[in-house]
């Protein structure tokens, strides 16, 4: 019992951290399948028309040159390099995927493609998934990668602070080695999109379980994967250097062994401006950012002649916030809809520095996503101060109003965001618009990231946050089920029992909004592999969100990798089957990168 609680708590924090700090921990990709051989066109794509920021994928046509070091400016030091244990965001993921290979990768069209797993198939009920593995792959320490490796990894993953939640969400019960290079994942429930969970590093990044068991904490300083680069020097908060893995299993199209680079140096540079300056001055060769303001500055520098390439990406992840339905008056849909009507998304995006960079959100999918729905976009409440005020007024004058205040008295709403300057600016825009109605007393708060997450998460045993309107990020470029199913399940055991769903409970339903029909649609969506059927189900879910409004959206999260112009192979890296992968969330895939001169 105690162990299961510990597992639950660990899972919660892993989920919460990933949800809020990362917004999506997968190496997502652009859903645009376009490819180009015109390098100029690729370079110019960084200054595309407003809102259309995704950089087109460049086809690698030149033979790679061996040698050279590559220095990447990261937005922070990695929280840790244990895939199963450490909650990873972009900087951490950048290092993790340089050292560890994933079993599968997301292609640019959003489908799942091979990597260490060469092929896979499910049984008719989607409860057993059998994967064929690449043969002859070895870890950095010489150990062989086999199906048994994945079985042994699972023992750590199912209790890992980062992986346990994903194991639970996937319904993963067992990992079985069928033979040396065939492994079966056994699920407790049907899941037609199970491989999507293997794109996420906590479950899909392959590490040496023996090394992890030998030194659980020390693994973070000396990780052992099968990836293109091996750990050479780990100087926390200063620099981490990884060197070429001479026994790497992948080759390029001409049979040349990868990777091309001799080494990669990761330097955490937390200040956005300094990180960009480091690239412009040649101190680093690349930088990552998740801030629109930095993307704007990088575009400006490029327009002024800086010799850099901007690989921009705007995926499904969307900023905004959630309304806690446990907290009156947010339990009333009139209030939630009224507040959402009064949220000027364009102004919020401007405050975030994202004008011309971020698209306003209306659902969990960006317009480039195959899951995007025009119908949902049309249904989402648009900015309309008068309409919003009318709805709030109706609530305020309702004798049955839920907040216990007198008729005519203003409602009070707590609005909270983490203390990032752009988020604070965006929060003040929302506050001003809400307050301008004269019907809403807005109490703004800012807590550090951990407190902000904890406030929404609540505490054992109920896990009911006491937040009000709370800044948050939603969605990822992975399969919709990986995010939606765990956030739309019953938020308490009592709610679950009321609907005959005994024992099904998620602490990550931060809005405390449960709709049995939505739950049913989400379960149905992982019981079929038919895209049209799944699309229709997710569209219904999004329509219900647009009706009940448990959350609000600002803009889709724009990310960027800025790199020196003579480094190639980062935009346009290929999977073993020759299809293209992307570099969403500013996480570069470096195993095919090379210096062109």
Size of the site for other proteins (CB under 8 A): 27
Nearest to other proteins of 250, 349 (CB atom): 349
Nearest to other proteins of 256, 432 (CB atom): 432
498, HSE (Cβ side, Cα atoms, 13 Å): 10
- The secondary structure of 465-486, three-state, reads CCCCEEEEEECCCCCHHHHHHH
Closest contact distance (angstroms) between CB of 488 and other proteins is: 28
Single out the segment in contact with other proteins by CB under 8 A; choices: 112-120, 389-397, 444-452, 481-489.
Answer: 444-452
Residues within window 225-284 making contact with other proteins, judged by CB under 8 A: 273
Nearest to other proteins of 223, 319 (CB atom): 319
Residues within window 127-166 making contact with other proteins, judged by CB under 8 A: none
Binds other proteins (CB under 8 A): choice among 119, 238, 251, 300: 300
| Nearest by Cα to 88 from 163, 22, 144 | 22
Report the alpha-carbon distance of residue 89 to residue 191 in Å, rounded.
Answer: 26
Q: Where are the alpha helices (DSSP H) in 39-89?
A: 39-44
Binds other proteins (CB under 8 A): choice among 447, 524, 527, 528: 447
Nearest to other proteins of 273, 370 (CB atom): 273
Q: Give burial (CB, 10 Å; 0-12/13-18/19+) of 35.
A: middle
| Nearest by Cα to 438 from 392, 480, 507, 492 | 392
C-alpha Rg value of the chain to the nearest Å: 24
Closest contact distance (angstroms) between CB of 595 and other proteins is: 28
Can the peptide bond before residue 531 be classed as cis, meaning omega within 30 degrees of 0? no
Closest contact distance (angstroms) between CB of 290 and other proteins is: 14
Beta strands in 150-228 (DSSP E): 172-179, 182-187
By the rule CB under 8 A, 425 interacts with other proteins: yes
Binds other proteins (CB under 8 A): choice among 446, 504, 528, 535: 446
Closest contact distance (angstroms) between CB of 405 and other proteins is: 21
Nearest to other proteins of 293, 527 (CB atom): 293
By the rule CB under 8 A, 432 interacts with other proteins: yes
CB of 559 within 8 A of CB of 314?
yes
Binds other proteins (CB under 8 A): choice among 428, 493, 495, 543: 428
Report the alpha-carbon distance of residue 597 to residue 115 in Å, rounded.
Answer: 29
By the rule CB under 8 A, 427 interacts with other proteins: yes
Stated as kind and residue range, the H or E segment containing 148 is helix 147-157
Nearest to other proteins of 270, 520 (CB atom): 270
Residues within window 325-354 making contact with other proteins, judged by CB under 8 A: 344, 347, 350-351, 353
Nearest to other proteins of 426, 549 (CB atom): 426
Binds other proteins (CB under 8 A): choice among 297, 368, 477, 564: 297
Beta strands in 255-410 (DSSP E): 263-268, 286-289, 308-323
How do beta strands 440-446 and 411-417 pair? parallel
Report the alpha-carbon distance of residue 350 to residue 201 in Å, rounded.
Answer: 33
Binds other proteins (CB under 8 A): choice among 156, 429, 546, 570: 429
User: Which parts of this chain interact with other proteins (CB under 8 A)?
Assistant: 273, 293, 297, 300, 344, 347, 350-351, 353, 419, 421-422, 424-425, 427-429, 431-433, 436, 444-448, 451
């Amino acid at each position: 019992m105690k162990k299961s609680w510990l597992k639950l708590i660990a899972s919660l924090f892993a989920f919460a951290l990933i949800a809020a700090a990362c917004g999506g921990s997968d190496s997502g990709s652009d859903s645009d399948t376009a490819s180009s051989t015109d390098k100029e066109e690729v370079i110019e794509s960084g200054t595309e028309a407003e809102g259309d920021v995704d950089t087109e994928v460049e086809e690698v046509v030149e033979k790679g040159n061996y040698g050279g070091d590559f220095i990447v400016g990261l937005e922070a030091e990695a929280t840790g390099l244990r895939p199963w244990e450490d909650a990873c965001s972009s900087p951490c993921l950048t290092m993790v995927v340089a050292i560890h290979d994933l079993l599968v990768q997301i292609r640019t069209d959003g489908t799942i493609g091979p990597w260490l797993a060469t092929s896979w198939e499910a049984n008719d009920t989607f409860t057993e998934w059998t994967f064929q593995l690449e043969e002859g792959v070895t870890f950095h320490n010489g150990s062989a990668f086999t199906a048994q490796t994945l079985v042994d990894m699972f023992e750590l993953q199912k209790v890992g602070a980062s992986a346990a939640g994903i194991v639970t969400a996937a319904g993963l019960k067992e990992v079985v080695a069928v033979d040396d290079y065939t492994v079966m994942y056994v699920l407790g429930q049907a899941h037609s999109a199970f491989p999507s969970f293997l794109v996420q590093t906590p479950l899909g990044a392959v590490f040496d379980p023996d090394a992890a068991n030998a030194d659980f904490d020390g693994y973070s300083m000396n990780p052992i994967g099968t990836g293109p680069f091996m750990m050479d020097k780990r100087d926390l908060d200063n620099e981490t250097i990884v060197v070429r893995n001479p026994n790497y299993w992948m080759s390029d199209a001409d049979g040349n062994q990868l990777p091309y680079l001799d080494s990669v140096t990761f330097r955490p540079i937390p200040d956005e401006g300094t990180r960009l300056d480091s690239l412009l001055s040649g101190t680093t060769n690349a930088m990552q950012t998740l801030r629109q303001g930095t993307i704007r500055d990088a575009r400006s520098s490029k327009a002024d002649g800086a010799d850099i390439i901007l690989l921009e990406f705007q995926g499904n992840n969307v900023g905004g916030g959630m309304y806690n339905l446990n907290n009156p008056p947010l339990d009333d849909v009139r209030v939630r809809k009224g507040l959402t009507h009064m949220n000027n998304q364009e102004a919020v995006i401007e405050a975030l520095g994202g004008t011309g960079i971020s698209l306003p959100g209306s659902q969990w999918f960006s317009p480039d996503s195959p899951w995007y729905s025009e119908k949902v976009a049309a249904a989402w409440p648009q900015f309309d101060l008068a309409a919003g005020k009318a709805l709030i007024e109706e609530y305020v004058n309702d004798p049955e109003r839920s907040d216990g205040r007198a008729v005519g008295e203003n409602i009070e709403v707590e609005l909270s965001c983490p203390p990032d300057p752009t988020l604070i600016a965006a929060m003040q825009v929302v506050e001003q618009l809400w307050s301008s109605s004269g019907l809403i007393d807005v109490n703004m708060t800012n807590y550090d990231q951990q407190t902000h997450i904890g406030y929404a998460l609540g505490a054992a045993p109920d896990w009911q946050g006491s937040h009000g309107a709370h800044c948050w990020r939603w969605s990822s470029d992975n399969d919709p089920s990986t995010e939606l199913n765990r956030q739309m399940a019953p938020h308490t055991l009592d709610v679950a029992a009321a609907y005959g769903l005994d024992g099904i409970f998620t602490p990550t339903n931060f809005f405390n909004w449960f709709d049995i029909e939505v739950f049913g649609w989400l379960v149905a969506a992982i019981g079929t592999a038919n895209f049209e059927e799944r699309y229709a189900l997710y569209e219904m879910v999004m329509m219900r969100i647009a009706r009940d409004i448990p959350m609000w959206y600002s803009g889709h999260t724009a990310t960027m990798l800025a790199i020196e112009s003579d480094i190639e192979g980062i935009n346009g890296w290929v999977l073993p089957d020759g299809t293209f992968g992307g570099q969403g969330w500013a996480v570069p895939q470096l195993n095919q990168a090379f210096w062109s001169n």
